[in-house]
Every structure is written in structure tokens, then in C-alpha cells.
Amino acid sequence: MPPSSPDVPGSTEASRSASLADVAALAGVSAGTVSRALSRPDMLSEATRTRVLAAAERLGYVANGAARALAMRRSFTVGAIVPRFGRSSFPTMVQALEATLAAAGYTLLLSAPERARGHDPALLRALLERGVDAVALLGADQPPAVFAALAAHRRPFVLLWAEHSAQGPCVGFDEADAGAQLVAHLASLGHRRIGILSGSTVDNERAQRRLRGLTAAVARHGLQLHPEAVVETETGFAPGFAAMQTLLARRTPVTAVVCANDYLAAGALSALDQAGIAVPAQMSVASFNDNDFAAFLHPPLTTVRLPIQEIGEQAGRLLLASLRGDAPPANPLLPATLVVRASTGPAPG
Amino acid sequence: MPPSSPDVPGSTEASRSASLADVAALAGVSAGTVSRALSRPDMLSEATRTRVLAAAERLGYVANGAARALAMRRSFTVGAIVPRFGRSSFPTMVQALEATLAAAGYTLLLSAPERARGHDPALLRALLERGVDAVALLGADQPPAVFAALAAHRRPFVLLWAEHSAQGPCVGFDEADAGAQLVAHLASLGHRRIGILSGSTVDNERAQRRLRGLTAAVARHGLQLHPEAVVETETGFAPGFAAMQTLLARRTPVTAVVCANDYLAAGALSALDQAGIAVPAQMSVASFNDNDFAAFLHPPLTTVRLPIQEIGEQAGRLLLASLRGDAPPANPLLPATLVVRASTGPAPG
DNA sequence: TTGTAGGCGTTATCAA
DNA sequence: TTGATAACGCCTACAA
């Protein structure tokens, strides 16, 4: 990519990088021809094509995307708004998204606001100003203004990790089914009294859905779910630790606990360990598995594994389809897989 | 941001989004004036300014970044090349970087190649074509072509998580000191025979540095480090698990193990647990702490905490300084903090 | 304080 | 197959 000799012999001034015109001059053709040589090589004669390409190579020519975007009215750039980046499974998703897009010549413009700025309309505006051709949004709980702006600017978009949305296409997990698998497993082992450690549902549509799916399954199986047995908390190890302590302190009798994600599970298991409660002998623990590290927590636990990467890939494909003008396919709903690592019924008594 | 009514009454055609000229027409001024109203409001009279701003608001005007970039020769965009995204502390760093840049009006263009594409020159080229004003590179082990291209295009850049580089400014941790703190701690407890679980050093300059710092400290303290007691492996829970099993299988006598990161530590602790080896009673474990979850692993372990976020922030500030034209400050070297959670000497015998 | 006009580097249309 | 030439939408002297 860099010219073998950064400066062209003859042009002493090492000023700005080479433009189409420079290449054209060196190759002895017009700028238009150079443009074609680069984008539609088959339109040129063999001779000129090689001559132009050589000149471009020699000058270390790199196209000016701004000029191209201005002329073509598209930037080959996709924006993504992804809150709560660190300490979550989002990065895995984003990498998959980026890889899928990159393979098609698109680059990702990332907006990774911390929680407070999560719904700031300025985020999307910044992306729009950069001329993104499409946008990936995490979660379905976006303010209406976002969709309005997207529509006003005719930008295709996709919601990641969202099951349904009246607003547009989305790709998500079948979380209700995932929760049902977890609960069914516990029920089959004979557990009747369940506890739940949920992620904070305020302003978090995914956590809400996860909790709803769980409670619905509990009801279907006729299990007991005491209101006191549901603890809602921030996601993280420490919060999970504290939440489990809270649950224990309430002394609500439960024989199994379902954690809404593996961060909470990790913390909860630590708390149980510290309290001297054996898992799964005295207490069963099951968990959603977003980050795939739950498998290595100390006591074996049962999880439903969500295919995080695939969300990113599917979202990428969907976006590319929209950009190509294809009709968007039906919203994919990715299945979760139950992984059983400990099978124990409730402790007697 | 979206216009209250997406379409302007009168202009039935809901074609492309509004341009400067459209706003100018609606406000009854020239395009130049609109441009000024948006970028240098203090140059206008109170009256026209409000009139123009109202018109812009009414049309839901969003600047065309491509045109702006073309005219200004800068895009207010920074590229980042960040390999191995998932399952690492990079996302935390990137979020901090993004936040710092966003506060100054810059947006991040992300390139998150999987390992194979990690050093593909096309990555940087794609960024350059998008017109990034500067570039953030993860790690110092970049191919020379990268620096050549950066220089040829006069793009400021910064190396993240790199201590020194002849190529340019970088911000990193004092890893040697971090390793020294760990080893000194173990030595002070009376450990003499140490084992090391290292991340793979092939093609990974950070892992290399970490291992070097460790072995140097071991030598300084006169401890024993049998070649067989150093196991090098991929980073991750499962690899850590396997690596510890390997170490145990070799039967090299060690009383303490240092893990090069907390993924490895987590896996190693699981392996020790499964092997029925008590930590720290029978075996002490110490670890670098990149991801801040080691604290919640089952047995308490001693760690050195590396300020990951700060790397991102510092890098952002450095980049902004370069973009401003300021002389870059000296390469910051962030200190690590020892966190002692278990203090036990070697098991007798 | 405001308008005018040239230029930024590509792409695309239309002739040649 | 190639060369002019006109957009693309914005910024910024320079002039008024």
C-alpha cells in the first residue's frame, strides 16, 4: 500500500497525497480513465489498464473517500450504536458484524456510549453526518426520534438482539424458549421453588424479555415463584454476589436459582460458596450463557447458550441485503442450546 | 434531530435530505451564511442566526460529512485497528477511547479483524480511504508497511498498550514493574520455586513483554524457574485449564504459579480445584488482572491490576493533541496496582 | 455582517 | 475505448 518510494522522483514537494489527477498525469490519460481503471477494470484496454495501475501503485494512490462519497452518494460505511460495551457480550457481536461487513467492503463507524449517553439523539446524528449508509442498533428500546431520523434520511437499519419490533427488521434470540428450557430442566429434576436473579429491567428491554420468559415458563410448569425470590440488579460479578446474598437473607425457601446472565451467575456462585452452601447438592444454579465463560466457574451449572456471534453475522447480512436493495428476509430468531452440567434435584427437606 | 414534520410543506417530493442550499433558500440567505451560522455562530447577527437555525431545524438539516471532509480536508474521524476483540479487555479500552474522542467531536472507525487478518495492510488502507484524521493501533508489533503508509499520508497515530516504540507515541503499562510486584510478593512469602502460565508469545508483543518482565524479576529475586515450569498457551479459560494440567503433569516442583492474565488464572484455578489441590494452602496463585473479574474467582488470589480504561483515555487525549498540532507529550506508562487477597507461604515439604 | 465564487477529488454522462 | 465536463455539498477567502 505505501509507495516503494514515498515521494515521486521529480516532484520534490512531499505535499498532499496523490489524487486521481496525479495518477492520470503520470499515466498520460484522463482522470476519468483512472477512475474506471480502479473501479471497472474490464472497461479499459489491457494496455492502458496496466499503465494506469502501475502509475497508481507508484504514487501510492489511495482514493479519497470523501470525494467518492460525495459523488456516489454513499460512503460504504455502516454505523453502530452499542451501549455498555465493556464487560458484556456486545464486543463479540460487534466483531462478527464488522467482519461480515468488511468482507463486503464496508467499514464500521462505532458509537459506544456509556449508559448515560445511551439514548442521546446526538449519537445517531453524528453517524448520519458521517454519511453512514445504514445503521445497526442494539436492542429494540430506542426512542421514537431515532426511527424518525432514520426514516427521514432513508437509512436502512437493523435491531440487534431484539425479537420483534414494529419499527423494522431485527435479529434476536428466542429468549422465551431459552428461559423455558432452563425452567423445564429444573422442573424435571423435581424443583418446585425457584429463585431468579435478573438483570436490571429499567430501561433494558432485553432484561425485561428475559425475565418475562422465565416467569411465564415458571407459571406453565406450575412452579412457585415468590415475589421475594426475584432479585433484580445491575449486571456484573459484584452485583451478582450481592444479589445472591440478598436472596439468602430473605430466607425465602428456594431449591434452585436461575441467573439471567453469566456475570450474575459467577457472582452468585461465589456468594453461595462463601455462605457454605454446596452447589448443586444444596442449591441448584442455572444460567443464561451470553459470554461462554460460565462453563469454567467452579461448580458445574446448567446453562442455555446463546449464539452471540451469529447475531452479529446475521445482522450484517441483513444490512447488506437492504443496501443491495433486496427485500429484507423475515426476522431471524436464533435458537438457544441447553447445556446440562449438573443434574440434581432439590435437597431433601 | 428529526424534523417535526419530515417533509417541508410545499415541497411534495420527499427526495433527498436537505442541503445547505435548501436551508439558505428557506431562511432567505446565502449558503455561506448558513455554513457560518452552524460553525461560527458569533459571526452572524442575532437575527439572521436565529432565522437560519430555525430553518435548519425545520428541515431536519444534517450536514453532509463527505462534502465537509472534502472541503476541509479532514473528516473528524479516527480509525482504530483492534485485533482479538471478543474475550479480552480491548473493548473496555476502545469504549474509553471512543468516549474521549466523541467528547471532542470525533467518531471512531473500527477495524476489528480476527487473528488471521490482524496484519493485513488492507485494513489500514480501508481506514485511510475513509479519510481518517488519525489512527489508533493496538500493540507495537505492527508491520513496517503500516508506519510507512501512516507517514506517507501524514496521519498522526498512537500505539495502545505498548511501552516503547521507535515508530511513534504510545501509551502502555509498566508491565515489568507489574510482574516484579507479583514476584516480589511471592518471594516475600517465602516461595522459591515458581511456575508461569504465559499467553502465547508468537506474534504477540504484549505477551512477550509480560513474560520477560516476569522472568527478569524471578532472576533478580534469585528464585528458581525451571524451563519446564513455564507453560505457554492461548488465552482463555479452557487453555488455562489445560495449561495448568500440563504443568501438574510435568511434576516440576513449584509452590506458586503466576498467570499472565485472568482468563488463564480462571482456568488454572478450575484445574487445581479439580485436581484437589487447595489454593493457596497447597499452591499459591497470582495473576495479572486485565479484566477485573479475577476478584470473584473462587479461591482468593493475588493480582496486579492494570488500568485498562486509562489506556483508552490517554490514547484519545494523545491523538487529540496531535490533531490539534500540539507537541505530543512523553509516552505515558501507567502503573499497576498490587491487590493481595491471599497471603500464604509455600506448603511445608 | 453578508454574498459571491472557486475549489476540494470522484463519479457519471455524453460525445468523440 | 477514451476524454471532456458537469455535478456532488460544503468551506472560505475575498469583495461588497
Integer distance in angstroms from CA B92 to C1' D13? Answer: 44
pTM of the model as a whole? 0.91
Q: Please, are residues B72 and B78 in contact by the beta-carbon 8 Å criterion?
A: no
The minimum CA-CA distance between A220 and chain B, rounded to whole Å, is 35
Q: Has residue A38 been placed in a domain? A: yes
- Partner-chain contact A65 B273, CB within 8 Å: no
User: What is the structure's pLDDT at A153?
Assistant: 94
Query: How far apart (Å, rounded) are the C-alpha atoms in residues B96 and B311?
Result: 8
Max Cα distance, chain A (Å): 91
> Among partner residues B86, B109, B270, which is closest to A109 by beta-carbon distance?
B109
Domain range for A28: 13-63
Neighbours of A330 (CB within 10 A): 6
Stretch B283-312: mean pLDDT: 83
A301/A313 same-domain check? no
Cβ within 7 A of any strand D atom:
A 28-33, 36, 43-45, 47-49, 67, 70-71, 73; B 16, 19-21, 31-32, 35-36, 38-39, 61, 63-64, 67-68, 70-72
Per-residue pLDDT averaged across B16-31, rounded? 94
Instruction: Identify whether residues B186 and B106 lie together within a single domain.
Output: no
Coil, strand or helix: which one is A69?
helix
Looking at residue B1, what is its pLDDT? Answer: 41
Residue of B267 and B188 predicted with greater confidence: B188
pLDDT given for residue B8 in this prediction: 42
The answer to whether the Cβ–Cβ distance between B86 and A77 falls below 8 Å is no
Task: Give the pLDDT confidence score for residue B343 in this predicted structure.
Answer: 61
Per-residue confidence (pLDDT) for residue B41, from 0 to 100: 93
d(Cα A254, Cα A87) in Å, to the nearest integer? 29
Average pLDDT, integer, range B46-58 = 96
**Distant-in-sequence, close-in-space partners of A269: CB < 8 Å, separation ≥ 6:** A279, A285, A297, A298, A299, A301, B298
Amino acid identity, position B171: V
For an interface test with B, the pick among A293, A306, A313, A341 (most B C-beta atoms closer than 10 Å) comes out as A293
State the average pLDDT for chain B: 89
The per-residue pLDDT for B140 is 74
Amino acid at position B228, single letter:
E
Contact A6 B70 (CB under 8 A): no
What is the CATH number for A250?
Answer: 3.40.50.2300
**B338 inside domain:** no
Give the closest-approach CA distance of B130 to chain A in angstroms. Answer: 5
Which grid cell is A14?
512531499
CB-nearest to A152 from B2, B91, B107 is B2
Q: B16 and A152 in contact (C-beta within 8 Å)?
A: no
- Report the b/e string of B60-76 with b at 16+ CB within 10 A: bbbbbbbbbbbeeeebb
Nearest to A340 by CA among A286, A260, A283, A299: A286
Minimum CA–C1' distance nucleotide for B71: C8
Is there a contact between B1 and A145 if contact means CB atoms under 8 Å apart? yes
Question: Do A192 and A270 reside in the same domain of the chain?
Answer: yes
Pairing of strands A230-233, B107-111: unpaired
- Measured distance CA(B198)–CA(B211) in Å, rounded: 7
Residue B7: burial class (beta carbons within 10 Å; 0-12, 13-18, 19+): middle
pLDDT of residue B70: 98
- Taking residues A308-328, report their average pLDDT: 93
The pLDDT assigned to A235 comes to 87
**Using CA of residue B150, residue B155, residue B160, residue B166, what is the dihedral sign?**
positive
Question: Is pLDDT at B347 greater than 70 in this prediction?
Answer: no
Closest in A99, A237, A296 to B237, CB measured: A296
Give helix A46-59 / helix A31-39 axis angle, nearest 10°.
90
The answer to whether the Cβ–Cβ distance between A92 and B107 falls below 8 Å is no
- So what's the pLDDT on residue A343? 60
For residues B68 and B123, the answer to whether their CB atoms sit within 8 Å is no
| Residue A338 domain flag | no
Residue B63 CB contacts under 8 Å (≥ 6 apart), including other chains: A129, B20, B38
- CA distances in angstroms from A323 to A107, A191, B18, B129, listed in the order given: 13, 50, 21, 20
Q: Same structural domain for residues A213 and A116?
A: no
Give a yes or no: residue A345 inside a domain.
no
Q: A144-152 and A121-129 are packed helices; what angle lies between their axes, rounded to 10 degrees?
A: 20
For position B348, what pLDDT does the model report? 59
pLDDT band at A15 (very low <50, low <70, confident <90, very high): low
Nearest by Cα to A282 from A182, A214, A191: A191
Say how many domains are in chain B: 3
Mean pLDDT of B155-165: 91
Tell me the C-alpha distance between B142 and B154, whole Å.
Answer: 17
A73: chain B residues, CB-CB within 8 Å: 16
Q: Is the CB of B48 under 7 A from strand C?
A: yes
When pLDDT is cut at 50, 70 and 90, the band that residue B224 belongs to is very high
Taking alpha carbons only, the member of A276, A194, A204, A256 closest to residue A233 is A204
Q: Are residues A260 and A289 in the same domain?
A: yes
Q: pLDDT-derived band of residue A11, with 50, 70 and 90 as boundaries? A: very low
Average pLDDT over residues B133-139: 93
Minimum CA–C1' distance nucleotide for B72:
D11
Residue at A70 is within a domain: no
Which chain B residues have a beta carbon less than 8 Å from that of A82? none
Q: Give tens-digit pLDDT for A209-258.
A: 999 999 999 999 999 999 999 999 998 888 999 999 999 999 999 999 99
Peptide bond into A280 cis (omega under 30): yes
Contact list in B for residue A237 (CB cut-off 8 A) is 293, 295-296
The Cα of B228 is separated from the nearest Cα of chain A by a number of Å equal to: 25
Each residue's pLDDT tens digit, B72-85? 999 999 999 998 77
Distance CA(B63)–CA(B39), nearest Å, equals 11
Q: Which three cell numbers stand for residue A200?
A: 436490571
Contact: A87, B92; criterion CB under 8 Å? yes
User: Do residue A99 and residue B90 have CB atoms under 8 angstroms apart?
Assistant: no
Q: Chain A residues with CB inside 8 Å of B92's CB?
A: 85-87
| Residues 52-91 of chain B in contact with strand C via CB under 7 angstroms | 67, 70-71, 73
So what's the pLDDT on residue B16?
Answer: 75
C-alpha cell read off for A96: 462478527
On whether residue B71 sits in a domain, the answer given is no
Residue B180 sits in the same domain as residue B297: yes
Predicted confidence band of residue B5 (pLDDT cuts 50, 70, 90)? very low
CB contact under 8 A, B298 and A6: no
Question: Would residue A336 count as lying in a domain?
Answer: no
- State whether A86 and A235 are in the same domain: no
Indicate which CATH number applies to the domain containing A21.
Answer: 1.10.260.40
What is the torsional sign of CA A336, A337, A342, A343?
A: positive
Question: Residue B95 is nearest to which of A69, A86, A291, comparing CB atoms?
Answer: A86
CA–CA distance, A83 with A138 (Å, rounded to integer): 7
B179 and B266 inside one domain: yes
- For the stretch A26-79, pLDDT in tens is 999 999 999 999 999 999 999 999 999 999 999 999 999 999 999 999 999 999
For residue A193, give the DSSP letter.
B
DSSP assignment letter at A86: T
Pair A39, A19 in one domain: yes
C-alpha pair distances (Å), B344 with each of A4, B181, B300: 59, 16, 11
| B225-255 tens-digit pLDDT | 999 999 999 988 889 999 999 999 999 999 9
Residues with Cβ within 8 Å of B46's Cβ and at least 6 positions away in sequence, in order, are: none
* A70 C-beta less than 7 Å away from strand C: yes
Set of chain B residues whose Cβ sits within 8 Å of the Cβ of A77: 109, 130
Phi then psi dihedrals of residue A282, to 5 deg:
-100, -25
Cβ distance of A85 and B62 shorter than 8 Å: no
Nearest nt to the A68 alpha carbon by C1': C10
Q: With bands split at pLDDT 50, 70 and 90, how would you rate the model's confidence at B296?
A: low
> H helices of chain B, where?
20-27, 31-39, 46-59, 65-72, 90-103, 121-129, 144-152, 175-188, 205-220, 237-250, 262-274, 308-324
Q: Alpha-carbon distance B256 to B283, whole Å? A: 5
Answer whether any strand C atom is within 7 A of the Cβ of B21.
no
Question: What is the average pLDDT score of chain A?
Answer: 89
| B215 and B288 share one domain | yes
pLDDT at A204: 83
Q: Residue B114 domain-assigned?
A: yes
Task: Give the residue on B whose Cα is nearest the Cα of A263.
Answer: B293
pLDDT attached to residue A297: 60
Which residue in this structure is represented by grid cell 453526518?
A129
Q: What is the pLDDT of residue A342?
A: 67
Three-class secondary structure of residue B172 per DSSP: strand
User: How many Å is the maximal CA-CA distance in chain B?
Assistant: 91
Q: List chain A residues with CB under 8 Å of B77.
A: 109, 130
CA angle (B175, B178, B184) in 5-degree steps: 140
What is the structure's pLDDT at B115? 75
Give the mean pLDDT of A189-207. 92
pLDDT tens digits for B193-210? 999 999 999 888 889 999
Q: Using the 8-state DSSP alphabet, how is residue B280 labeled?
A: T
* B86 lies in the same domain as B57: no
Query: Which residue type sits at A174?
Result: D
Residue B144, Cβ density class (10 Å: 0-12 exposed, 13-18 middle, ≥19 buried): exposed
Shared domain check, B185 and B262:
yes
pLDDT beyond 50 at B108: yes
Residue A217 CB burial class (10 angstroms; 0-12, 13-18, ≥19):
buried
Pick from A130, A203, A87: nearest CA to B102:
A130
pLDDT at B64: 98
Name the CA dihedral angle for B233, B235, B237, B242, rounded to a multiple of 10 degrees: 0
Least CB-CB distance to A112: which of B89, B95, B128?
B95
Site from B70, B78, B310 to mutate, A interface, most A CB atoms within 10 angstroms: B70
